[in-house]
């Protein structure tokens, strides 16, 4: 626990100032984090990052992460991200023929979905920061409050398992406590940095984002269980890998964007 807290404090001390600075520095950091997460996910499937599918995956990831203004400058709106993704799938499928199915159709499905999962999630990290610092702080507070609340409520009151086949330690009571903690944290946050939302919409958004943050955590737990790994990586002592720490954000940020459209 001591190592976990120390790593968390040091990571926050490094991450939060760059979030505040934003702009190109933040975009570069997101590229680095997403690339590491991609490496971790490919490694679960025993696909080397410097293999043909590994290189294509990373290149597609970098294209997906491109902010809109850079996409227009580079492509001139001639080629869209969807078309680049389609080209990547065709290259993956061609590689199945070249390798005589040692790299199979199932592998194509994995690397394609993995790249979309990582790429879209981290892309919205950039988009959310561009929308305003208060939005990304809003998302981070929900995730941190949910994680902390779920842990402490689970330890104090947890009896009924939430999804034992996926994550044996999580409980229904802890999950509900996480949502309650997120609501309290957001209302405190609202006192200092008011959101441009009415109180009902803010409450609904907080509940939905807290739930989807927990779903994101369960999805990554399911991946690790399926591929028989304890953590996605070891880059963060006591926490695991980048994917272990950003799994909730990969769900929360796209959902936050969709909610902001209404």
Query: Strands 161-163, 167-171: parallel, antiparallel or unpaired by DSSP?
Result: antiparallel
For the whole model, what pTM was predicted? 0.88
* Residue-range domain boundaries for the chain: 1-131, 133-262
pLDDT at 81: 84
Task: Give the whole-number percent of the chain exceeding pLDDT 70.
Answer: 92
pLDDT at 234: 78
pLDDT at 165: 82
> pLDDT, tens digit, for every residue of 78-106?
678 888 899 999 999 999 999 999 999 99
> pLDDT, tens digit, for every residue of 60-85?
999 999 887 766 666 666 678 888 89
Q: What is the mean pLDDT of residues 187-213?
A: 89
Least confident of 3-7, 76-80, 161-165: 3-7
pLDDT above 80: residue 2: no
pLDDT at 142: 95
Q: What is the mean pLDDT of residues 189-218?
A: 89
Reported as a pLDDT band with limits 50, 70 and 90, residue 163 is confident
> pLDDT, tens digit, for every residue of 108-153?
999 999 999 999 999 999 999 988 888 899 999 999 999 999 988 8
Supply the Cα-derived Rg of the chain in whole angstroms: 19
Q: Half-sphere exposure of 215 toward its Cβ, with a 13 Å CA cutoff?
A: 11
Higher pLDDT pick, 16 / 4: 16
For residues 254 and 247, give the distance between their C-alpha atoms in angstroms, rounded to a whole number: 12
Surface-to-core class of residue 97, CB atoms within 10 Å of its CB (0-12 exposed, 13-18 middle, 19+ buried): exposed
Query: 142, 140, 132, 154: which is closest to 187 by C-alpha?
Result: 142
For the chain, first and last CA: distance in Å?
41
Mean pLDDT of the chain: 88
Which of the residue ranges 19-23, 40-44, 238-242 has the most confident prediction, judged by mean pLDDT? 40-44
Q: How many residues does the chain have?
A: 262
Q: Hey, CA dihedral for 256, 44, 37, 183, is it positive or negative?
A: positive
- For tokens 């919409």, name the residue: 201
Least confident of 17-26, 54-63, 203-212: 17-26
pLDDT above 60: residue 244: yes
**Other residues' Cβ atoms within 10 Å of the Cβ of residue 13:** 9
- Cβ atoms of 173 and 153 closer than 8 Å: yes
Reported as a pLDDT band with limits 50, 70 and 90, residue 239 is low
């Amino acid at each position: 626990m001591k190592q976990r807290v120390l790593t968390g404090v040091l990571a926050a001390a490094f991450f939060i100032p760059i979030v505040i600075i934003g702009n190109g520095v933040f975009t570069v950091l997101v590229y680095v984090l997403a690339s590491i997460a991609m490496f971790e996910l490919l490694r679960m499937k025993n696909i080397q990052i410097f293999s043909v599918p590994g290189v294509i995956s990373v290149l597609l990831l970098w294209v997906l992460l491109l902010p809109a203004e850079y996409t227009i400058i580079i492509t001139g709106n001639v080629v869209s991200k969807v078309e680049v993704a389609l080209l990547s799938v065709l290259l993956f499928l061609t590689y199945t023929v070249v390798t005589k199915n040692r790299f199979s159709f199932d592998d194509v499905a994995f690397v394609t979905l993995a790249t979309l999962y990582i790429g879209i999630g981290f892309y919205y990290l950039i988009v959310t920061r561009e929308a305003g610092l208060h939005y990304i702080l809003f998302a981070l507070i929900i995730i941190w409050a949910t994680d902390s609340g779920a842990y402490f409520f689970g330890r104090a009151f947890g009896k009924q398992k939430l999804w034992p086949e996926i994550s044996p330690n999580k409980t229904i009571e802890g999950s509900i406590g996480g949502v309650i903690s997120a609501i309290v944290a957001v209302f405190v946050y609202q006192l200092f940095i008011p959101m441009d939302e009415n109180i009902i919409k803010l409450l609904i958004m907080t509940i939905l984002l807290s739930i989807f943050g927990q779903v994101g955590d369960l999805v990554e737990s399911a991946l690790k269980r399926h591929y028989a790994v304890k953590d996605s990586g070891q880059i963060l002592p006591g926490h695991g890998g980048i994917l272990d720490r950003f799994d909730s954000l990969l769900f929360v940020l796209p959902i936050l964007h969709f909610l902001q459209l209404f």
